[in-house]
Amino acid sequence: MQREYTTPAGEFSEFYNSLLDTVHLLIAGATGSGKSTVVNGIMHAALFRAPSEVQFILIDPKGTELSMYRRLPHCIVYAQSENECIAALEGAMETTRRRFKTMQRAGAREYNGSHIYIVIDELMYMFNRPTIKKRAMGLLQDIMVIARGARVHCICCTQNPTTATIPATLRCNFDSRLGLRTATAQDSRNILGVKGCETFPAPKIAGKALGAYMNDGTIELRNLTRIAETDLQAMIDYWTHNRKPKFKLFNRG
């Protein structure tokens, strides 16, 4: 018997829902600052709001943070190894180019189809690998520059917000940034351009994660809701075993 599932259990976050509308999003903070809380909240919101209009390219170099989402029918690619990460970025670039050609033929300024979210769990793991660093950073920068209007979004995370991981040439492409607790004031400046994130308490002490959200040049403090593991698993099980979304105007590209 097919289990019915109409809305996700637990608390729905309008903040995570609003993050889906950003062009590109940087999520950065020290280990244990709440990065996984935010990523899970975004995935939860995406599958709640418009499951037939979202698909994911998941780049998970550590193979831990995003692996539970790889079974989703919404997942186009799940990449972990060096070669898989590069192939995923190359595929995203090709998809973006095809979408622009479609837009040009139609005389449209925005692609009329599903949103693709490229979720990268840890930039540091890619950029610390000499064999792929230059290629990975170049591809990511190119995608971010040309993806506007094509409904291709980059959500990039790092627990090492140094200038080596998020250099200025990459950081400037993030329209929105979420700074979590950092180890130093300089790390906070690397994310937001200002200090302050180093003063945030650890989530285990505060009870929930605290973030500084920058959008349109303004910074607001946000309490970040944690989506329960049972609620996330229920949603994943539902889409994996019970339902197959009918993607709108999307044909694997």
Strand order in the sheet with 152-158: 75-79, 54-59, 115-120, 152-158, 24-28, 176-179, 209-215, 218-224
Residue 156 bridge partners (DSSP): 26, 120
pTM of the model: 0.90
Element (H, E) at 198: none
Rounded Cα–Cα distance for residues 105 and 99 (Å): 10
Q: In this predicted structure, what is the pLDDT of residue 207?
A: 62
Three-class secondary structure assignment of 78-93: EECCHHHHHHHHHHHH
Q: Please tell me the predicted confidence (pLDDT) of residue 188.
A: 97
| The one-letter amino acid at 234 | A
> What are 185-239's pLDDT values in tens digits?
999 999 999 999 999 988 875 567 899 999 988 999 999 988 888 888 888 888 8
**Domain ranges for the chain:** 19-242
The 3-state DSSP class for residue 70 equals coil
Angle between helices 35-49 and 229-237 (to 10 degrees): 40
Query: Which CATH entry fits the domain spanning 19-242: 1.10.1370.30, 3.90.1150.10, 3.30.43.10, 3.40.50.300?
Result: 3.40.50.300
Cα–Cα distance measured from residue 14 to residue 24, given in angstroms and rounded to the nearest whole number: 18
Opening angle at CA 228, ends 240 and 244, nearest 5: 15
Chain mean position to CA 40: 10
CA distance 184 to 178: 16
Cα distances (angstroms) measured from residue 34 to each of 7, 30, 100: 24, 9, 35
Give the separation between CA 24 and CA 198, rounded to whole angstroms.
24
Tell me the one-letter amino acid at 38.
V
Q: Tell me the pairing of strands 176-179 and 209-215.
A: antiparallel
**pLDDT one digit per residue (tens) for the chain, 253 residues:** 233 334 444 456 789 999 999 999 999 999 999 999 999 999 999 988 888 899 999 999 988 899 999 999 999 999 999 999 999 999 999 999 999 999 999 999 899 999 999 999 999 998 988 889 999 999 999 999 999 889 999 999 999 999 999 999 999 999 999 999 999 999 999 999 999 999 998 887 556 789 999 998 899 999 998 888 888 888 888 888 866 666 544 344 4
**Alpha carbon separation from 125 to 55, 85, 133, 209, 221 (Å, rounded):** 23, 11, 9, 23, 28
Say which residues have a Cβ less than 8 Å from residue 32's Cβ, sequence separation at least 6. 181, 202, 203, 204
Closest CA to 85 of 115, 35, 120, 128: 120
